[in-house]
Amino acid sequence: MSGGWEESVYPIPLPEGSGVELGGRILKEKRRGDCYKLLAACFYLPRKKLFLEEEVFKSLAMLLGEVCPEAVSSFIGMEKAFSTSNEEELLIEYAGLFVGPYELKAPPYGSVYLDGERRVMGDSTLKVIGLYEEAGLVMDRDFKELPDHIAVELEFMYYLIYKEMEALESSNEERALAIGQIRNQFLNQYLSPWVPAFCEKIKEATDHPFYIALANCLSTFVTNQSRN
């Protein structure tokens, strides 16, 4: 379920104390990163067999319970709705919300909300692309979505967290700090400001319990991360 990446937030200070303490913090941050990745998966086409094979919901339940308990109640509704819906129903609802063909009921692109003109590929998109490049990433040419699609941005957060933790594990404090600064900027300027409005659009546009619960879960999770 990877997104459109090929290789070419807040800074986490090194804690004082034992290596065990640092290891525990790194593990928790990696689990936070996995939450971003699994939530990103929920904004791709809803393929029930694939979700079950990769245990998306089982893994997300465990991870949210540790890093964002506030989102667990929304997640429970999301999991139940997904399991009781047939795939065709989910695909139709997905297309109506995020694809079209005529009007997007809930545009999944950051620039629509950040640039104030309800248009894609705005100024904020170019700045997001710049942060991707600063982190050492370029978009895969075969990936058909725009750079500020919600799934791409969530996967970018996953990538930043893992690279930051990788640097900490190798005692590369300078690189960890640099990546943490990108993570902080991206989360606070280009992800968390538009996610609540996007999630409200979803809830206004659908009565499907899966997507309503997904919107609540995502909004709660991202808002919680921007506070910490």
Distances (CA, A) of 161 to 30, 54, 93, 212, 224: 7, 21, 31, 27, 16
Among candidate residues 149, 218, 158, 150, the one with its CA nearest the CA of residue 183: 158
Tens-digit pLDDT string for the chain (228 aa) = 455 544 433 333 434 444 557 778 899 999 999 999 999 999 999 999 998 888 899 999 999 999 999 999 999 989 899 999 999 999 999 999 999 877 889 999 999 999 976 778 889 999 999 999 999 988 777 777 899 999 999 999 999 999 999 999 999 999 999 999 999 999 999 999 999 999 999 999 999 999 999 999 999 999 999 755
Distances (CA, A) of 213 to 81, 185, 193: 8, 28, 20
What's the number of domains the chain is made of? 1
Whether 23 is in a domain gets the answer yes
Whether 151 is in a domain gets the answer yes
Whether 22 is in a domain gets the answer yes
Whether 152 is in a domain gets the answer yes
CATH number at residue 24: 1.10.3480.10
Whether 12 is in a domain gets the answer no
List the domain range (segments joined by +) for residue 202. 17-227
Whether 147 is in a domain gets the answer yes
Whether 115 is in a domain gets the answer yes
Quote the strand ranges of the chain, DSSP E. Answer: 5-7, 137-139
Whether 4 is in a domain gets the answer no
